[in-house]
Structure 1
Amino acid sequence: MGEQVVSVASYGVEPGLRFAVLLDGNGGCRTLDMEAVRRWTPDDGVIWLHFERDHPAAAQWVTTKGGFDPLVAEALLEEETRPRVEAIDDGLLIILRGVCAAPPEEAEVSSAEIDLVPLHVWADQRRLVTLRDSGHYITALRDIRLALDKGKGPKQTGELLALVSDKLVRDLEPVLDTMDEEVDDLDELIFHGEASEVRERLKQLRRRSVQLRRYLAPQRDALNRIEHDDAPWLKERDKLRFREVIDKLMRFIEYLDAIRDRTGILHDDLSTVISERIARNSNRLAALAALLLPPSVVAGLFGMNVGGIPGVNDTWAFIIIVAFVAVISVATLMVLKRINWL
């Protein structure tokens, strides 16, 4: 096979194709264009093709030129998917989830905007085909591609697949760390912040943890199935890396469970704080009503428009009544303090 080097840094030059590289078996690669991809044969070496799943050109290649079984092609282009693995002949159909981050040229994305997005994979002895949606950006694949450009990447398909899985799980750690820090912040805000804001942030955080776990649990099962697959191109060293990835993923799932439990506890604490605030305000209102009750009764009695009200013709009657009301109010205040209402 002749030289088909396009450019080491070419991404998305071909319609629907993010990149295509031919592994040299020593940790490096050569970048191919679509014409070189069409001329590729398994004897040329291991090839890695990365497509935009929702691009018409990529869909056409998968269905007509990729040499896939129709059921495999349909699964690779499927819209709604969950992590799973299917062994078909000597290859593996794999659906995984990775962290969707912002492209390098864009500003940093907040944790609330981070999501797990599907990565569709076909792997056999001489070929790895990956597909992700054009609106998503998975840093794990970028890192592997950069390592290949530097001559420090994987050498064969099993190692490449294990490295992709490892990088996908690795990118979960900063997301979980950010969520844990947010739980700590909310723990402080419960007693000092606005209740409505804390409640909304708790709701979003708990929903995000449940959503992440929804995909990580089946992803653990999928990786476990890859590890136990008897494909000849999966070496013992590759399976050892898969075991390490599975262990790390299990720890992350436990971490998510802990975050979910902590948010539940914080929600209960928030409810308790709100109840205490309501009770305290109710006590204050009750105390105020008790303080105003004697003046209201006296004012009501002397405000009746009937005959026989004492002090009508006495110039000191108003001052005496005001003094009497003040004394009663002070006495009521002392009683309320004595019984710990104030």
Structure 2
Amino acid sequence: MKLIVASRSGWIENLTVLCRWQSTLCNRVALPFGDTLLTARLTMTHRQPLTIQKPDFTDDVAGLIYGYCFHSGAEPRPLTAQQACQAWQQQQGEGFIWLHVNLSHAASARWLKNNFAVDEDFFDEIQHGSHSTRIERQNDALMAVLNDVIFDARENSEQNATLWIWCRAGLVVSARFKPVRLIERLNDKLDELVLHSSTELLTHLLVEQETVLEQIVRQANQVVDQIEERLLSHHIKSNRSELGRLRRMLLRFQRLLAPEPAALFRLINRPPGWLDRQVVQDLRQFTEEFTVVLNDLIGLTERIRLLQEEIASRQMEQSNRTLFTLTVITVLALPINIIAGFFGMNVGGVPLANNPHGFILLVLLVTLFTCIAAWLTLRRRDKL
């Protein structure tokens, strides 16, 4: 009996070694031995790392960055891509859904068109339309284009991001290629806002656009004030180049951030039927406030132009003064050069050659001609 147990134990050990040699990951080998079970846990020498999958993989496929469902009297509820589709199908006219997508994902446009019936014209506008700020009516929906820029007076700010918004009753879709700070700020303070409709969210983004332009005008005013204080210093050349760069930057921001008035007035005069009157009134107020900011920007640009002209006139005056000084020096040196040229001709008959006081007389003669030339030059300058 002991021999049988020993042989069975050796067989178990050999089988365990064989299983380890096969390198089966986390495999449990259960071997019967009497009334007990011998479990051999075998582990591979090289383990493969486990990939953690997102709870909702469709967010990456659809390009959804943020998704929220808004209801009156409740906090915004985050949505995944699948939850957003279900919420849109079950929506009964109360509240609205906001979707923020990344257009760098190729399937984002198809996902929006198939599940939320977003107009094809909206995506055509993204691909082929202008990037200037505007809000207009697109069929029975609203389409807005907003821009986010970075203002830095010390260097050329060429970084800007465009945000496209499609809005209708119960749904707001915002799309971008590059990150937009307007959306990030909105997402940070979303719990503090009280939004009852999709148009209120759109109006809030328009106000944020106006705030961006106000900050740019305020910062540019500070830079212009500093340049104006340094205008009397010896850094006129650097001031002029800085003003030129600042003026070009402001003109570019004005082109990007200023809304097109024609499209906005058409929307205010002929709004869609589902648009609330209060929203139309808010758009009118936004237009007036934005006009004030644009006037400030235009006034600042005109102020920069006047400073450039002042600096240019001072540089011209300094150049004229330098040129006049060189002219005076040339005129004063002319008699000396002429007389030295005449007396330097190695020919006979040179006057005062045999006079013992010839040098003194020649110096007095040159001084006399120089004083006469200087008097005539200064007299002419006083007349001018």
Q: Do both proteins adopt the same fold according to a TM-score greater than 0.5, normalized to the shorter chain?
A: yes
Question: Which TM-score tier does this pair reach, normalised by the shorter chain?
Answer: 0.7 to 0.9
For the 8 Å contact 1:85–1:225, the answer to whether it is kept is yes
For 1:230 and 1:331, locate their aligned partners in 2 and report how far apart those are by CA, in whole Å.
Answer: 84
Q: 1:125 aligns with which of 169, 180, 190?
A: 169
Instruction: Encode CA deviations 1:2-43: one digit per residue, 9 max, x unaligned.
Output: xxxx9xxxxx97763321111132362111222222322254
User: How far has the Cα of 1:69 moved from its partner?
Assistant: 3.1
Q: 1:75 aligns with which of 103, 125, 130?
A: 125
User: How far has the Cα of 1:292 moved from its partner?
Assistant: 0.6
- Correspondence 1:56 to 2:106: yes
For 2:102 and 2:336, locate their aligned partners in 1 and report how far apart those are by CA, in whole Å.
Answer: 79
For the 8 Å contact 1:118–1:132, the answer to whether it is kept is yes
Using the TM superposition, name which of 110-119 and 169-178 deviates more. 110-119
Aligned to 1:145: 187
Query: Secondary structure of the residue that 2:189 maps to in structure 1?
Result: helix
For the 8 Å contact 1:186–1:198, the answer to whether it is kept is yes
CA-atom RMSD in angstroms: 3.4
Aligned to 1:159: 200
Paired positions, count: 323
1:39-54 counterparts in 2 under 5 A?
Answer: 39-41=86-88, 43-44=90-91, 45-54=95-104
Instruction: Encode CA deviations 1:62-87: one digit per residue, 9 max, x unaligned.
Output: 34444223333323454643424123
Aligned to 1:295: 336
User: How far has the Cα of 1:172 moved from its partner?
Assistant: 0.8
Query: Secondary structure of the residue that 1:308 maps to in structure 2?
Result: coil
Residue identity over aligned pairs, in percent, reads: 21
1:1-342 counterparts in 2 under 5 A?
Answer: 16-26=63-73, 28-41=75-88, 43-44=90-91, 45-78=95-128, 80-82=130-132, 83-89=134-140, 91-92=141-142, 94-101=143-150, 112-113=156-157, 117-134=161-178, 136-138=179-181, 140-148=182-190, 150-188=191-229, 192-193=233-234, 196-231=237-272, 233-313=274-354, 316-326=357-367, 328-330=369-371, 332-333=373-374, 336-337=377-378, 340=381
For the 8 Å contact 1:27–1:155, the answer to whether it is kept is no
User: Relative to structure 1, is the Cα distance of residues 42 and 247 closer, same or farther in structure 2, using a 3 angstrom cutoff?
Assistant: farther
Instruction: Encode CA deviations 1:153-186: one digit per residue, 9 max, x unaligned.
Output: 4222121111111111111101112223333344
In the alignment, residue 347 of structure 2 is paired with which amino acid? Answer: V
* Gaps in structure 2 of 5+ consecutive residues: 1-54
For 1:303 and 1:68, locate their aligned partners in 2 and report how far apart those are by CA, in whole Å.
Answer: 96
TM-score by length of 1: 0.79
TM-score by length of 2: 0.71
For 2:209 and 2:174, locate their aligned partners in 1 and report how far apart those are by CA, in whole Å.
Answer: 13
For the 8 Å contact 1:98–1:169, the answer to whether it is kept is no
For the 8 Å contact 1:16–1:51, the answer to whether it is kept is yes
For the 8 Å contact 2:213–2:257, the answer to whether it is kept is no
For 1:109 and 1:179, locate their aligned partners in 2 and report how far apart those are by CA, in whole Å.
Answer: 7
For 2:297 and 2:195, locate their aligned partners in 1 and report how far apart those are by CA, in whole Å.
Answer: 31
In the alignment, residue 277 of structure 2 is paired with which amino acid? Answer: E
Query: Secondary structure of the residue that 2:138 maps to in structure 1?
Result: strand
For 1:128 and 1:339, locate their aligned partners in 2 and report how far apart those are by CA, in whole Å.
Answer: 76
